[in-house]
Chains A and B, each alone.
Chain A
């Protein structure tokens, strides 16, 4: 093995992904080549430095918020499907209790922002009923139509395209 070959395979060596033959050749070369030994040491040092930098813990309740958003999105989609001649409020009332509860969740999320979901579950239920009253008084339809749209659309419109 020449220095060039050795240095191109140092990373594989660090990760123990060399074949046994390559591994033996590599060891033999390193034993007699200070330059490649230095390159290996630098590679290891870089890895140590990178790995030592911590990542903050994932925000609490992350998975729950994802699921809530998925449910809200599904509800928004379900509400959009039926006959659009009837107002959303009528469709909401005619839909099942579960759908209505999910819609309340969606509205709550839109109204209060995602921080709501960091609070306790019991508090959420109370807040939800209060909010629903408020929303009902204010008229639900505009909120669903205007609020639901960007939420759903922004996720749907995120494009996979784009050069890298």
Chain B
């Protein structure tokens, strides 16, 4: 079955007062919004707040939404902005760097995995905000360069530079895991 309505159609229906259409959008995109917020913030409670706010923002903007960019990109853009706002408001000193490792995630891991997961999470958390965003959208959300540029409101060249710098930092910080 390939008959499910496009995101853009559902957004139009939402603007027309169809809450069920909005619900479909939430169900369809909740996983990516959650993943992105969690990767950006490293904390489940904060990620849930931001993910909820993101959908409420989409709902509030339902009348103004114009399908210029893909809905998905539009949604990522909102999530990323909200993550930045959230970090600035709640962890001003840490807005650019470092996020905590969520113990509840770690508790679910086996000991060996846990160490590696923590190292990865910490390495991502140490990246400046823009680099972290590019990494999250590239590696966890599978966006291509052009889509990342759209979501980050920047150029493709800038995204490539961000990713290159991020990879350099990550390789250094995760050096132990590169030896085979």
Please report A residues at the B interface, Cβ cutoff 8 Å.
8, 11, 15, 17, 42-43, 45-47, 49-56, 58-59, 62-63, 65-67, 69-71, 73, 155-156, 158-160, 162, 164
Selected contact of A51 from candidates B22, B104, B124, B139, CB within 8 Å:
B139
Whether B178 lies near A50 (C-beta < 8 A) is: no
Say yes or no: A158 contacts B153, CB within 8 Å.
no
How near does chain B come to A114, taking the closest CB pair, in angstroms? 9
Q: Are A70 and B48 in contact (CB under 8 A)?
A: no
Interfacial chain B residues near A73, Cβ < 8 Å: 56, 59
B56 touches A66 (CB 8 A): yes
- Determine whether the beta carbon of B56 is less than 8 Å from that of A63: no
The reply to whether B120 and A53 contact each other, CB–CB distance below 8 Å, is: yes
Contact with A along B148-164 (1 / 0, CB 8 A): 00001110000010010
Q: B147 to nearest A CB, angstroms? A: 12
Q: Which residues does chain A contribute within 8 Å of B126, judged by CB atoms?
A: none
Looking at the assembled complex, report how far the CB atom of B88 sits from the nearest CB atom of chain A, in whole angstroms: 8
Q: Are A156 and B60 in contact (CB under 8 A)?
A: yes
A71 to chain B, nearest CB (A): 7
- Please tell me if the beta carbons of B178 and A42 are within 8 angstroms of each other in the complex: yes
For window 55-87 of B, CB contacts with A under 8 Å fall at 55-57, 59-60, 78, 80-82, 84-85
Contacts of A164 in B (CB 8 A): 80-81, 84, 129-130, 133, 152-154
Q: A51-B139, A164-B130 are in contact. List 13 more A-B contacts (CB 8 A).
A: A15-B144, A49-B120, A49-B174, A50-B135, A50-B139, A54-B105, A59-B44, A62-B30, A66-B52, A155-B53, A155-B57, A155-B60, A156-B60
Contact A63 B30 (CB under 8 A): yes
Asked whether any CB of chain A lies closer than 8 Å to the CB of B19, the reply is yes
- Interface contact A50-B140, CB-CB below 8 Å: yes
User: Within the assembled complex, what's the spacing in Å between the Cα atoms of A4 and B135?
Assistant: 22
Nearest-Cβ distance from residue B4 to partner chain A, whole angstroms: 16
Within 8 A of A (CB), among B33-50: 34-35, 38-39, 44, 48
Q: Which residues does chain A contribute within 8 Å of B120, judged by CB atoms?
A: 49-50, 52-53
- Take A49-B120, A52-B120, A53-B117 as given contacts and tell me if A158 and B57 are in contact as well, using a CB distance cutoff of 8 Å: yes
Q: Is the CB of B31 within 8 A of A67?
A: no
Q: Which of A54, A58, A158, A160 contacts B117 (CB 8 A)?
A: A54
**Chain B 113-130 near chain A by CB (<8 Å), digits 1 or 0:** 100110011001000011
User: In whole angstroms, what is the CA distance A93 to B121 when docked?
Assistant: 52
Q: What is the CB-to-nearest-CB distance from B44 to chain A, in angstroms, rounded to a whole number? A: 6
22 CB-based A-B contacts, threshold 8 Å: A8-B160, A42-B178, A45-B178, A46-B167, A52-B116, A52-B120, A54-B117, A55-B35, A55-B140, A58-B34, A62-B34, A66-B56, A67-B19, A67-B26, A69-B56, A70-B19, A155-B53, A155-B60, A158-B82, A160-B81, A164-B129, A164-B153
